[in-house]
A and B are shown apart, each in its own frame.
Chain A
Amino acid sequence: MLENVPLTWEEVARVYGRKIYNFAYRLAGNPDDAADLTQEVLLRVKKGLAGYQPGSFEGWLWRITRNAFLDDIRRRKRRPTAPLPDEVDRLAGHSSPAPDEILASVRLGEDIQAALLELPFDFREAVVLCDVVGLTYEEISTAVAAPIGTVRSRIHRGRKMLKGLLR
């Protein structure tokens, strides 16, 4: 995506900000850490954009994002916290589904989020990059600096673990 297209950091923020936030939320499990991480990633993008070499922009961006997350984990040395039940306030779109549909969706979302947080980080990261962010295996491989075979294995094992946790 956007190969060889020079972007300003403001454009990166607008185009990718929401994806970065969602990736961060699904990894961290709470809105405060997700917001802090998004801010940190955008600062790193601002600093690093001038030195960006045309290539896989997505890979570059998500590598920055996961490195920021790992740095944060190392710095705080604490496990991600459980998700907060405030997704109702953050619902995307305005198609006005019925209130009971929203609640059911949020409860299910909390279960899935809690299960995601039970996964080892490498598995959670691969699953989220694939199924939330929507990257290809090749883009994930670039982002996490691992061979495609490893990405394939992490996604597979992550999904198998999720199935067990969601039973």
Chain B
Amino acid sequence: MNHPGELLSAFLDGEVTEEERSRVAHHLAGCEPCREELSDLNSSRTAVRSLLLLELPAGLVPPEDDGVEVPILARRPPVWIAAAAAAILALFVGIATILAPPTTLEVRLDQLSDQYGARTSLEPAITPRTPVPVIERGAGTIE
């Protein structure tokens, strides 16, 4: 096999196909110069990754609303989620009403949702990977 060359950096980053990974690994086992090149590339990569993550200067980003973080769940879930949740709860109530003896007709919805897991269906289906607080629109400006 020819020397992998540019594939070596991609190999370090895991940006190769399985076939390429296998080919490069096999080549490295028998090629000292390529192992040295890989080591050099890795030291550069490590050096840049070791750079400190700098703090943002004050004032560049809109401030939080009075520093009070509103839980992400305060976001209004899409209408279909609320409708689905209501339907599931209604179903549970219906089943519980049918199955339960007459003396336990008084059903507490919060217990039902705990018991059957319906609570989870009330949470937004899609949440950002990084939680962001909900703020008033237009609360912050860039000077």
Contact = CB atoms under 8 A, between A and B. Distances in A.
Contact of A163 (B15, B43, B130, B142): B43
Instruction: Summarize A's interface: helix, strand, loop or mixed.
Output: helix
Residue picked from A1, A21, A106, A132, most chain B C-beta under 10 Å: A21
Contacts of B13: 130, 137, 155
A109 B9 contact: no
A108 B50 contact: yes
Contacts of B9: 152, 155-156, 159
B45 A109 contact: no
Contact of A92 (B10, B47, B55, B62): B55
Interface residues of A, number: 53
Candidate in B8, B44, B129 with the most chain A CB atoms within 10 angstroms: B44
B79 interface: no
A132 B129 contact: no
Nearest to B47: A112
Given A137-B13, A163-B41, 16 more contacts: A5-B128, A7-B132, A14-B62, A17-B61, A18-B54, A18-B56, A38-B56, A91-B54, A109-B52, A112-B50, A112-B51, A113-B51, A137-B10, A156-B9, A159-B9, A163-B40
